[in-house]
Structure 1
Amino acid sequence: MEQTFTYREKIKQIFILLIPILITQLGMFSMVFFNTIMSGKYSPYDLAGVAIGTSIWNPVFTGLSGILLAVSPIVAQRYGERNTKEISVTLAHGIYLALMIAITVMILGFFLLNPLLGLMNLDANVKSVAHDYLIGLSIGIIPLFVFNTLRSFIYGLGKTRIVMYILLLALPINLFLNYVLIYGKWMFPELGGVGGGYASAITYWFILAMTALVIKIQEPFNQYVKLASFKDFKWSKCSEILKIGVPMGLSIFFETSMFAIVTILISQYDVITIAAYQTALNIVSFLYMIPLSISTALTVLVGYEVGAKRNKDARIYSFLGIGLAILIAFVTGILVITFRYDVAGLYSNETAVIQLTGHFLIYALFFQMSDALQATTQAALRGYKDVNIAFIMTLIAYWLICLPSGYALARFTNLDASGYWIGLTIGLFVAGIALAIRLHQVQKRKFGIIQEKVS
């Protein structure tokens, strides 16, 4: 990263960070994409089982890995300050936290998975697939959490291409493993949708090994790998990450768990409805990788400028990123609505699933624009390390507005499952507006402080 002076330079800087991040995000999402498509082609039961398994795993992973995302704005601000020692300390303690979180998740999963699945009114075949899929995925929990810390560290330095290259190398491996383990090709066992869990876990180990190797041997990363930082463990340094990371993780958790709860509520419908909902959600989630990638770049750029005491530049980056995300969401939303049945046909051969998926995708335009607004405004706030108010706002929007309105529309009107899509959109839009107001307040305060110092 480097200082920019014009709007053109800032837009260019956004895209320099954005494109590799986007390719990386699409690569990570493609693993779920491959699992879903191949499982759907295998059978509707495997598709539904993987959907349930994913709905359980996603809020756990995204919420807890959200804590580790705090490494990125901390490193970015330290990088803006040119504080090499603190960057090394943040990296070491981020890895320690990743290991603690991963081990805790594995222990809790051992005791809670069966009771949780037992609470759902699932078909026996769907329940079996969901259980075994998560067991396979659990083999990759440790490398996945550690990799997310390393990725946040790399992004904090503004070096986004290297992670992209690693993911591009990993994708063919993941695709091959999905194919042979789901369909039982070339003497591999035929595991159905469960095979996707094992394929992802093996791929996570490969990704971690490659990322660790690059950090150890390549400039500028290796200058921050200090053995002394790993030996000198201080809980206060972990607390610094947790102070920012916990509200970030909770905000992400409340959003993803909101989707998970909706999935569980929809599991009360028939297999066709479950499969169609998961397919539609998979499609809009795939497109969400664009505003999510803009968000990641925005957090780094805002954090870097704040660390360098250039608050006016941080403000400009914020609005450029938010505007870009909403514009792209509008364009992709129009495309999804136009070609909704063609896209749905990629996921399933069942006519009923395709038709219902197409119906759900009618709501994609407003859903995507609302999601883009809330994601990027929240990302800009993270760059300022202002996360506590955002956490409260998202909690209210997701759990006190979104879920009740979606449930009411689905249960007490003739919208049925479509009511949940409207409820999701309402919740995301309210969150976006509230976060935008908070961002304006933070920037106004920062700008006012600078004005006082100048005068």
Structure 2
Amino acid sequence: MYQTDNLKQKIKLFMIIFFPILITQVSLNLMTFFDTVMSGRAGAEDLAGVAIGSSLWVPVFTGINGILLAITPIIAQLLGAQEDKSIKQKVQQAMYLSVGLAIAILLLGLILLNPILNTMDLEYEVRHIAKFYLITLGVGIIPLFIFNTLRCFMDALGQTRMSMIIILIALPINLLFNYIFIFGKFGVPAFGGIGAGIATALTYWVISLLAIAILYKVAPFRDYQLFSSWVRPRVKEWLEQLKIGVPIGFAIFFETSIFAAVTLLMSAYSTNTIAAHQAAMNFSSLLYMIPLSVGMALTITVGFEVGAKRMQDAKVYGYIGISGGIFIALFNGIVLFAFNDYVAGLYNTDPDVIALTVQFIGFAIVYQLADAFGAPIQGALRGYKDVNMTLVIALVSYWVIGLPTGWILANYTSLEPFGYWVGIITGLSCGALALLARLIHIQKKYRNQIENSSAT
């Protein structure tokens, strides 16, 4: 990261940071994408089982990952304030916290997995695949959380290309593991959808070990000597990260869990409906990685400028990201509209499933417009470390407005399963507008604080 003097320089730096994040996020999402697509090739039950398992795992992972993301604005603001000496201990404490969170998730999963699956009206085979997909995936949770913490550190330095390189190396490895364990190759039994969990867990170990090796050997990361002279775990340091990270995590959880809740409610419909819904959601989630990456880039750039007390520069970065999000939303809509038949055919060969998937994609075109507008604003707010109101906005817009609206439309109108998607669209739209109002308020607040401190 470095200071910029004009709009052209800001756009250039933003793009340098943004594009590697985008490639990294898309590649990470492609792992789930390939899990779903390749499982679907193994059978409709495998696709539905992985869909249910992913719907339970993704909200938990993204919520906890929100806590880990807090290290990004912390490091970015330290860099902006030129307090580099504090960075090493912050990252070490974040790694301690990531391991603790991973262990907590594993213990909760051990207790709650069976009761949750038993409450769902699933076919036996679908339930079996979902259960063991999650169990095998759990083997990779600890290295995954460690990797995400280290990645946040690398990204906060503006070195987003390194995360990209790691994931690009890991992606074909994940494909190979999927091929081996899903379909049973090279003497390995065919595990179907469960094999996707095995493959993903092994991939998590690969990316974690790669990240550790790079931070230990490659400049400029090795200059921070993250793995030498370890400090003791300190609850005070954890609380600082949790103060920022818990609201981020819950806000992300409220957003992603509404999709999980909808998928679980879809269990009242046929296996084909579940499969079609998940296929449309899976691909639109892949497109969502673009505005999400814009938001992550804004957290870095805005956080750096806020740490240096250059509030006008932080504001400019915010508007660069928002305008980019609007453009991306329009582009995504065109992609989904133009290739809906092709996208549907990627997931399944059953004509009934393909037809249902195309209908769901029509609603996905609308919902991603609001999501692509809101994600960059959330990233900018994280750069200011303003996270509590984002939590409230997420709770109200998704769970108070979005899900009840969807449930009413699904159960009391002819929309049926598509009503849930209309509810999602409603919730995301309300959330995006509220986030924009909050960003404008925070920008004014920080500007006034700087002006008042200068006056005194």
Output the TM-score relative to the length of structure 1: 0.98
Distance of 2:302 and 2:173 partners within structure 1: 35
Secondary structure at the aligned position of 1:315 is classed as helix
Change (3 A) 1:409 1:159: same
How much does 1:378 deviate?
1.1
Contact 1:88-1:229 at 8 Å conserved across structures? no
How much does 1:227 deviate?
5.7
Aligned to 1:140: 140
Output the TM-score relative to the length of structure 2: 0.98
Equivalences for 1:42-441 in 2 at 5 Å? 42-226=42-226, 230-441=230-441
Counterpart AA for 1:178: N
Counterpart AA for 1:296: M
Alignment root-mean-square deviation, CA: 1.1
Distance of 1:19 and 1:227 partners within structure 2: 29
Distance of 2:229 and 2:401 partners within structure 1: 44
How much does 1:224 deviate?
2.2
Q: How many residues align structurally?
A: 455
Distance of 2:226 and 2:252 partners within structure 1: 31
Contact 1:92-1:229 at 8 Å conserved across structures? no
Contact 2:281-2:364 at 8 Å conserved across structures? no
Distance of 2:120 and 2:194 partners within structure 1: 19
Counterpart AA for 1:80: G
Distance of 2:423 and 2:152 partners within structure 1: 32
Distance of 1:335 and 1:228 partners within structure 2: 48
Contact 2:45-2:126 at 8 Å conserved across structures? yes
- Judge which range, 217-226 or 116-125, deviates more: 217-226
Distance of 2:227 and 2:336 partners within structure 1: 50
How much does 1:2 deviate?
1.4
Contact 2:397-2:427 at 8 Å conserved across structures? yes
Once the two structures are superposed, what CA deviation does each residue of 1:284-316 show, in whole Å capped at 9, x if it has no partner?
000001001111101000000000111000001
Distance of 2:235 and 2:225 partners within structure 1: 19
Gaps of 5+ in 2: none
How much does 1:369 deviate?
1.4
Distance of 1:283 and 1:228 partners within structure 2: 42
Distance of 2:326 and 2:411 partners within structure 1: 31
Distance of 1:183 and 1:263 partners within structure 2: 26
Gaps of 5+ in 1: none
Change (3 A) 1:237 1:228: farther
How much does 1:229 deviate?
6.2
Contact 2:167-2:207 at 8 Å conserved across structures? yes
Contact 1:53-1:130 at 8 Å conserved across structures? yes
How much does 1:451 deviate?
2.6
Aligned to 1:37: 37
Aligned-residue identity in percent? 48
Aligned to 1:14: 14
Runs of 4+ in 1 over 4 A off after TM superposition: 226-229
How much does 1:3 deviate?
1.2
Counterpart AA for 1:441: H
Secondary structure at the aligned position of 1:20 is classed as helix
